[in-house]
Structure 1
């Protein structure tokens, strides 16, 4: 099932009790989750439980969240994040949410009767359950993965669900890492939805279309700047474009065409802190200011920080290459990079005095490492990694990045 079909189903209240939303596109996931919560909670305050899959996850707390009764709400959603790290113990908890561990004799006989003309399905059911004389019920056996998948298919056809009517599980993955087959085998095609990022060749037309909604045109350089600096998902693109429009609307002189200079001025001159003002503090080696800016923007734009830092750093590294390796003057290097703004030139000149090409190249490794951590860690640990990066960049550190290897520097 694709994202458009999922939206349609949720809008019609055809909601599954368990979902796996995988893939790197964050923006559409946020839209779907918002739609899901609106439908399930009908405008009331959502009751949600958030768990990150890692070595510290307390499985008893997860089981309590899934199975516990609610006092002040009719429904709840349990979010399981970083699902690519799931282990067999947690897969078993999910399995118990989907496959009944026991069936009453009456229900078992009823199911078998419904399959009297389908010997294969009846045989699968017989292979999966055995009668427990002590309790008078059918208990599930230790079954093979292939039989497990077939059994789930049978239960889906019967529209049989173990899950409580008011309980929903949403599993989230935001990387391209492989998800264990043991989990995928528990889900049908309506429960696993992959959210793909836009292909590179789709982005320019989409960005132009978004600006057209505001009756604005945008040139190619400005589009490429947005693609390079904004996190690659629709949610962050839409937010960035809306902010640029608000800034542009307040300009005295405008011709309904947004160019790269307009966007750079917005990023560098707006009162709102951004990854670019954070990078300016790094260039000035002002640790206190950099940490203060980080704390502000992390609360509102944690996913967009790395993209802005990486774009800024690639440009700065090119400038250092021109100055140190091609022996150009700082002024000539800045001219060659088409940097005209006096304020931006002054900030970059400070950076040229504070960093050399070797140090800046090693910072590129740290930024690549930071990009990995951004996708792999929960928010509180991401913040610590950002803080470490700032302190290490300004004060130095003998610790090597795990991406460092030999000193081979790439210019982008």
Structure 2
């Protein structure tokens, strides 16, 4: 393997395109399936960098080629760990590929950025709204299905901002309606509220009602599906609360409900009803506190092992629904 293809730095929030890049790289390393590539995944909050470097440098009996993925590079801050990584990247193993990943753009230590070849530093930006709509239309066209512009908007209201989650929801829609279907706004609403699948928006629905027991049940189902990671759930709720804060601000600025919903592109009557319910149940100061609380819990989720993340999310919902943003680490709104 060329040393130019031994280390990559993959930044940005667009998880779907990032995963496609990794898949293509694995296919290339394996010679399109002719060789076995040993893949290892690690996360910055609990990674032992010395062990990772050892895996990269030493061949195994089962495979000569290794691909090591280190997520959450923005959490790697210890000088010793940074030195180990930069030393390895300066002289990488010939039969190993090291992928350094972060959802952030600027959070990775500059020493690590500099040691990765310029052509191997890639940023995966979030798609623009029109690009997301085009992605959805093309996805269903390939399945011999159609989706209306309004249904596209409704789908984008409930899906986190990356093509990985878009693909997941679109594949569920294919299974729900079947090939050849024509999907409109009513169909999206039927899927969201009448299918047995939970999503971040059905969780927000219960949070909006301030029903802790039901919200915890929805959260439990989301985590059991293993298709939603804790950070993705938290980011999905952040998106909804930011939109709620914007709605409250527009209403306070004497915009009519129709004008406010139009500005925020909230067109579904069912979704409008949920936002009105949350507007009634949460004060502006509470929403501000909740958004700050999400930032605090994001840091804590990144710093603990995965088996503790469910507990933290349960605690987070308690502080949101019962205490209105007053967390364990801050006073919250008065």
When normalised by structure 1's length, the TM-score is 0.61
| Number of matched pairs | 317
> 2-side partners of 1:339 and 1:207: how far apart?
18
> 1-side partners of 2:39 and 2:204: how far apart?
36
One of 16, 21, 40 as aligned partner of 2:10? 21
Match in the other structure for 2:135: 206
> 2-side partners of 1:203 and 1:192: how far apart?
24
Partner SS for 2:228: helix
Structural mapping, 1:76-155, within 5 Å: 76-87=66-77, 88-99=79-90
Determine whether 1:222 maps to 2:146: no
Match in the other structure for 1:179: 108
- Shift of the 202–27 alpha-carbon distance from structure 1 to 2, 3 Å rule, reads same
**Bigger Rg, which one:** 1
After alignment, is 241-250 or 268-277 more displaced? 241-250
CA-to-partner distance for each residue in 1:119-168, whole Å, 9 max, x for gaps? xxxxxxxxxxxxxxxxxxxxxxxxxxxxxxxxxxxxxxxxxxx4333322
- Shift of the 382–30 alpha-carbon distance from structure 1 to 2, 3 Å rule, reads farther
CA-to-partner distance for each residue in 1:334-380, whole Å, 9 max, x for gaps? xxx87756x996x8898788x34357525642565278549955772
One of 313, 322, 326 as aligned partner of 1:386? 313
Q: Which runs of 5+ in 1 are unaligned?
A: 1-9, 100-161, 408-412
- Shift of the 374–212 alpha-carbon distance from structure 1 to 2, 3 Å rule, reads farther
User: Is the Cα–Cα contact under 8 Å of residues 148 and 184 in structure 2 kept in the other structure?
Assistant: yes
User: Root-mean-square deviation (CA), in Å?
Assistant: 4.3
Determine whether 1:399 maps to 2:327: yes
When normalised by structure 2's length, the TM-score is 0.73
Match in the other structure for 2:283: 357
User: Is the Cα–Cα contact under 8 Å of residues 12 and 103 in structure 2 kept in the other structure?
Assistant: yes
CA-to-partner distance for each residue in 1:205-262, whole Å, 9 max, x for gaps? 3332223223344333322233333222222222222222332339xxxx95433332
Determine whether 1:60 maps to 2:50: yes
Partner SS for 2:125: coil
Determine whether 1:70 maps to 2:34: no
> 1-side partners of 2:170 and 2:317: how far apart?
28
CA-to-partner distance for each residue in 1:364-403, whole Å, 9 max, x for gaps? 4256527854995577265444222212123327437779
> 1-side partners of 2:189 and 2:152: how far apart?
12
> 2-side partners of 1:378 and 1:213: how far apart?
40
> 2-side partners of 1:211 and 1:374: how far apart?
38
